[in-house]
């Protein structure tokens, strides 16, 4: 345990990480607001946009999304409902497990993502030390 950082330095490093995260989320929210999105909304669209749109199954189960966007399942369900209401995603039953729900981008969701992705990436490049886009 001699190699561990002193407790005070460890706690300060943790607080610095939290502060950077909070500043970055605030900056993302400000930048994305004009496009009708928040940072978490964009993260869901971004994860879904990484799925290939080749006619195959280009959807995620809600549980899979929750692990990638770091939201509780209930918070993610509310967010998905808002995105669905705005026509950016669709929800449907899982064919392999009828208790599950799958989420996919609509064409409007893919277009909105493509429109705001450069803005989101620019904010990340500005806010994160050593980042480059």
Does the global pTM surpass 0.75? yes
HSE-up of 104 (CA within 13 Å, CB side)? 15
H or E element: which one contains 89? strand 89-93
Closest by CA to 105, choosing from 43, 61, 51, is 51
Is residue 94 within 8 A of residue 61, CB to CB? The reply is: yes
Query: What is the CATH number assigned to the segment(s) 9-127?
Result: 1.10.10.10
Residue 24: per-residue pLDDT = 96
Q: Specify the pLDDT at position 61.
A: 80
Tens place of pLDDT per residue across the chain (133 aa): 445 678 889 999 999 999 999 999 999 999 999 999 999 999 999 999 987 654 455 677 888 888 899 888 889 999 999 999 999 999 987 666 666 788 999 999 999 999 999 999 999 999 997 766 5
């Amino acid at each position: 345990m001699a190699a561990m950082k002193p407790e005070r330095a460890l706690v300060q490093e943790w607080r610095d990480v939290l502060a950077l995260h909070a500043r970055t989320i605030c900056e993302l929210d400000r930048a994305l607001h004009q496009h009708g999105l928040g940072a978490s909304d964009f993260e869901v669209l971004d994860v879904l946009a990484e799925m290939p749109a080749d006619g195959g199954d280009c959807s995620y189960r809600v549980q899979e999304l929750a692990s990638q966007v770091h939201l509780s399942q209930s918070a993610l369900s509310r967010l998905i409902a808002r995105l669905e209401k705005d026509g950016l995603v669709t929800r449907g039953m899982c064919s392999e497990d009828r208790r599950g729900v799958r989420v996919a981008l609509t064409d409007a969701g893919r277009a909105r993502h493509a429109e705001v992705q450069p803005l989101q990436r620019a904010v990340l490049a500005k806010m994160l030390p050593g980042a480059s886009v």
